[in-house]
Each structure stands twice: as structure tokens, then as C-alpha cells.
A = this chain, B = another copy of it.
Amino acid sequence: MIFIVTFGDTIYMSYFYNEIKKMKAIIRTAIASDSSAILSLIKELALFEKEPESVKLIESDIKKYGFGTTPLFRCLVAELQHKVIGMALFYPRFSTWKGPTFHLEDLIVSEIYKGRGYGTQLYSAFIRDAYDLGVQRIEWNVLDWNIPAIRFYENSGAIVLQDWKTVQMDAQAMKNYLAKNK
């Protein structure tokens, strides 16, 4: 009896799981109460990028910078059965050649939900937003060892620039520089 029920459950769960796999996520603009879910996704990506200790932000920072009076970013979230399972976080930049552009800072789908098209849904929604607002270019960064991501971007019509490098200086280095160059 127990066996039969378990067997039935397994069939049911398998059916249910396949139905979930086929489901499209709901893509919507993030609100302040998504801050905790957004931070969880950011931490998950940092772990994937092998720098889990690099995330210095806490939930109140996400609230403050994303949903205050002058937001520093916009965020779209992918929701599945009332759970945020992915996000696209971006903000305006300015090209002195082209004019206003958007920068996609993070495109994240939680590990167990990968491979079901939610990343593509978020990516498309971001491109739609940018295009509708008339920005002349969108851009983002990718790790050169993340070959699946590079292939995905190139297949979508994006170009990976080969001759540009990113330069960064953190607050401590800024302080050191200023002390030496008064």
C-alpha cells in the first residue's frame, strides 16, 4: 500500500516537475521587498565567480541604492510560483560616441533553475526595455573562461571586444594615490 502510494507520488511528482520545467517565469520590475532575494542571487553569482567573500553589500544597501529617492540601478526579476529565481540588474551609462547606453551589471538565474530558458527571458526583457527607451547600446562584462555565456551572447548578436581591458582602483588605492599626489 505504502509502496503503491509512493509509486503514485513519484509519477505525480515527475509529472508536476515536468510541468514546472515547461513553465515560463513571470518577469516584472523589482520592488523594495525583493531586496533580500536580490542579495541572495548576487551572493550565488559571486560564489560561481569564485569570489564569495567579495560581496560587501547588505540588504539595506540594496533597498537604499535601488529603491530610494534616486535609484542607482533598475532590476527585473523572474518569478516562478511566487519565488524570485533570477534577475537582470542594470543602470544607465553614457558613451561619448553614441550617447545614452545601458549597462547590464548582473544577469543571474539561481543554479537549480538554470537551463530552462529563464535567463533568456530576463535577457530578452532587458533588451526590450533598453530598445524601447531608445538607448543606442547595451553592454556588460563576461569572464573569459565562461564559454557557455560567451557563446550565448555571441549567438544573440552581441560582440565580445577583444582589445579592451578593464582598469579598477579601489578606495584604499585611491587613498594611497591621493596621499602621494597632493
Residues of A within 8 A of B (CB): 42, 45-46, 51, 54-57, 61, 65, 72-73, 89, 91-100, 103, 105-106, 120, 124, 127-128, 130-131, 135-145, 150, 153, 156-171, 173-178, 181
Contacts and interface: CB of A to CB of B under 8 A. Distances in A.
A156 B73 CA distance: 29
| Identical subunits present | 2
Contacts of A137: 168-171
Contacts of A173: 157-159
A161 B141 CA distance: 11
Contacts of A45: 96
B93 A89 contact: no
A176 B131 CA distance: 11
B164 A143 contact: yes
